[in-house]
């Protein structure tokens, strides 16, 4: 999907190199996941762990943002 999208973006003179590279890496990783059970397990754990860490960082940043926003709203009231 990304590979085809990058070629379409190239036709309309949009940046397409990173999208193409990401698509190729995705195809290579999918091949390794399908052919090697150990690599598939490793990829699953790494993906889940990365998701949890990023979700936690986003939750913390949202907390500080909304705390600041609520203080501004209280000051105006």
pLDDT one-digit tens code per residue, 1-24 = 778 888 887 788 777 787 888 888
The mean pLDDT of the chain is 84
| Token duo for residue 6 | 């990058």
At 62 the pLDDT is: 87
Torsional class of 74: left (φ above 0), alpha (ψ -120 to 50), beta (otherwise) = alpha
pLDDT classification of 57: cutoffs 50, 70, 90: very high
At 54 the pLDDT is: 93
At 77 the pLDDT is: 65
| C-alpha 24 chain-centroid distance | 16
């Amino acid at each position: 999907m990304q590979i085809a999208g990058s070629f379409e973006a190239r036709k309309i003179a949009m940046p397409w190199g990173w999208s193409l590279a990401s698509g190729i890496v995705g195809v290579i990783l999918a091949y390794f996941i399908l052919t090697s059970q150990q690599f598939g397990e490793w990829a699953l754990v790494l993906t889940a762990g990365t998701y949890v860490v990023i979700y936690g960082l986003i939750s913390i940043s949202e907390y500080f943002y909304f705390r600041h926003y609520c203080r501004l709203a209280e000051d105006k009231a």
